[in-house]
Structure 1
């Protein structure tokens, strides 16, 4: 069995479901990669109304993570998690393709 293209952890799925319920929106988290940031690319998260036909979808406990084909090339094999620590709470991408990152954790290079 091959590795999944992308993974949504249980912690992240619970957080997306919690946010979606409060905003009366579907439990669909879109991950996109934008140019910019201190290391070259940044992760962008938003709730989506629906998935696109060409999206890659990971589903955990009924919550969907959708990624467009261009962004998927940069995050393939990644896991999206939700972490809470002294610095706050945030979605975090563990990206095996990132050659380097930055201190803020939301920017990376390949």
Structure 2
């Protein structure tokens, strides 16, 4: 005796073309990093002009006159582990290692011909160079 088993036709699994999810950063506040109104205004203009991304990444790396230097760049999306701070109308991303050195820092901008540009005021720095681009802790 043979048994007949009804089977449903095999269906191939649906594969959706969903792009890899963008990392969701932790929300921070201006106690980590604060932009002055002048810095925010200049950065918003640069973000619009450059078109490289709507986030400002602030990082600290080894180098410079005093051992550590600030790096600024525009990026299109956060990375895993980033902290997002909204200040002066700008979305600022900081990685967790940089956050250790940056806490309480203010970023200002001056349009002066001499000593103009972006300037960091970091309460954690024991020494910094005259150009304001590097510091030591």
Q: Same fold (TM over 0.5)?
A: yes
**Counterpart check, 1:18 vs 2:23:** no
Shift of 1:89: 3.5
> Quick check: 1:106 aligned with 2:130?
no
The residue aligned with 2:82 is 55
1:56–1:90 Cα change, 3 Å: same
* Larger strand percent: 1
Of the three residues 47, 50, 71, the one matched with 1:44 is 71
Question: 2:111 is matched with which residue: 71, 84, 92?
Answer: 84
Alpha-carbon distance between aligned partners in 2 of 1:107 and 1:25, rounded to the nearest angstrom: 25
How many Å apart are 1:24 and its aligned residue? 2.6
- Matches of 1:82 and 1:56, distance apart in 2: 22
Give the TM-score of the pair, scaled to structure 2. Answer: 0.71
Q: Is the 8 A contact 1:16 1:28 kept in 2?
A: no
Higher normalized contact order (CA 8 Å, seq sep 6+, divided by chain length): 1
- Counterpart contact for 2:56–2:91, Cα < 8 Å: yes
Where in structure 1 are there 5+ consecutive unaligned residues?
none
Q: State how far apart, in whole Å, the 2-side matches of 1:27 and 1:8 are.
A: 16
Q: Secondary structure at the match of 1:85?
A: coil
